[in-house]
Every structure is written in C-alpha cells, then in structure tokens.
Amino acid sequence: MAKVLIVEDDLDLAHTVERYLKGQGFSVDMVHDGAEVSSYLIAYPYDLILLDWQLPGMAGVDILRELRGRGLTTPVIMATGMNRIDDKERGLETGADDYITKPYDMRELLARVRALLRRSQGQVASSGLMVGPIALDAKGRRATVSGASVALLPKEFQLLHFLLLHPDQVFSPDALLDRVWPSESDATAEAIRSTYKRLRKKVDPDGLVLKTVYGVGYIADTKGG
C-alpha cells in the first residue's frame, strides 16, 4: 500500500483528497503547516508527497528546495492556484516531479499520483539498489557485498530493501514496523531491532553503511563514514 503525505492548509480540500485517496487504497497522512513537514518525514517515509505551494509556516516551494537539498528523492506533486508558466517552471526546477493546478478534479489527481508512482518504481527496478559495497537485486531476491552473495532471511531482505530504497533517512523502529511489515499484527519494534542487528552483522559488520542513530533509529548512510 503506497503511503501519501498531503501538505495542504485548506482543511476542506485536504480532507476531500484524504477520503478519495483512501477510497482508492492509499494510506494517507495530512499536515497543514509547512513548518511541520520535516517532523512527519522523519517519523515516516512516504511514497509520494502532494505539496501545496502557499502554506503557513513555510512556503511549499521552500519546503521542496530544502528536501531536495537534503537528498530526499520522494516524488512530489506541487499543487497551486497559480497557473502562469513562470510559476510552473519555478516549481519544476526546484524539484517537483509534477504540477497540478487548483481547482483540480480528483480523477486527474489520481491519474497523476498513479503515473508518478509507476515512474518512480520503474526507475528503482531498472537501476537496482546500491549503497557503498551493499547491492540488492529486488527482482532476483539477491543481496551482495563487494560482489559476494550474502544469504538473508526474508525479513532481513525486506528490511535491507527498504533502507536502501530510502538512503540517508533515519527511521525509528516503529516507523520501520509500519512500513516493512504493515500486515503482521504480531510483529513488534523489538523484532525490528533484532532483525536489524542480524542484518548488519551479515552485510555491514563495521557499520559503515547501516548505522544506528542512538535514540532515534536506523539509516543507510551513503557517505559511508
């Protein structure tokens, strides 16, 4: 289930979009103040962000510039009532992946969301995943370290796949539990901790890529140092 973050200060519109996307099978969170976006992105990873341009606290285009500057590659659809070519150009050049003009039809929004998710997933599938010496072939269910195959249990593979898919982002055990094993009601944050410990012992015993940010969570660090 794809997880979408709606960043919109128009509460009626935000709730309308939330209900519609949930009805289409998406998991949805909402935030109404630009200054709160970073805290949401730290707590949970999202597959797509619907970002309003004009927000209290921090403008959408400034939020986007900050996120891209931090290396966040999550697909973003910029929503705005401004329809001048100059405005669209600015949003896209700042790092938006798509642009939708208000007022918009829910069917158009859904089509754009699905198309952007397909594009994003296709890029991941075609390029594979690699951070430092750790590489993952999701389709072939194969992990390698410096070219040597490493045998991973299914849950270890799932956790590694997720972390490599979202490099340089810190995730708490609860956030990982919500995203990696969302359908397993008996899974716990402690199970995530144990799986992470085993995983790191197998693929990164020196902790150069898979790192623990104490008191916060875990990260696949592309800097490797």
Residue 61 lies in a domain: yes
Do residues 177 and 118 both lie within one domain? no
- The residue whose two tokens read 């592309």 is 222
Do residues 93 and 171 both lie within one domain? no
Mean pLDDT, each 10-residue run in order, the chain (225 residues):
90 97 95 88 79 91 85 85 78 87 95 89 64 81 81 88 91 88 77 93 93 93 77
Residue 225 lies in a domain: no
Do residues 195 and 105 both lie within one domain? no
pTM of the model: 0.62
pLDDT at position 140 is 62
Residue 64 lies in a domain: yes
Q: Give the CATH number of the domain where residue 132 resides.
A: 1.10.10.10
Residue where one domain finishes, among candidates 64, 93, 125: 125
Note whether 121 and 89 are within 8 A (CB). Answer: no
Spatial separation of the C-alpha atoms in residues 29 and 6, rounded to whole Å: 6
Do residues 149 and 114 both lie within one domain? no
Do residues 80 and 134 both lie within one domain? no
Number of domains in the chain: 2
Do residues 119 and 146 both lie within one domain? no
Do residues 118 and 34 both lie within one domain? yes
Do residues 171 and 186 both lie within one domain? yes
Do residues 55 and 135 both lie within one domain? no
> 19 φ, ψ to 5°?
-60, -40
Do residues 100 and 29 both lie within one domain? yes
Residue 33 lies in a domain: yes
Do residues 118 and 13 both lie within one domain? yes
Which of left, alpha, beta for 72 (phi over 0: left; psi -120 to 50: alpha)?
beta
- 79 sits in which H/E element: strand 76-80
pLDDT at position 97 is 92
- 31 sits in which H/E element: strand 27-31
Find the domain containing 59 and state its range.
3-125
Which amino acid is it at 175?
A: A
pLDDT at position 124 is 52
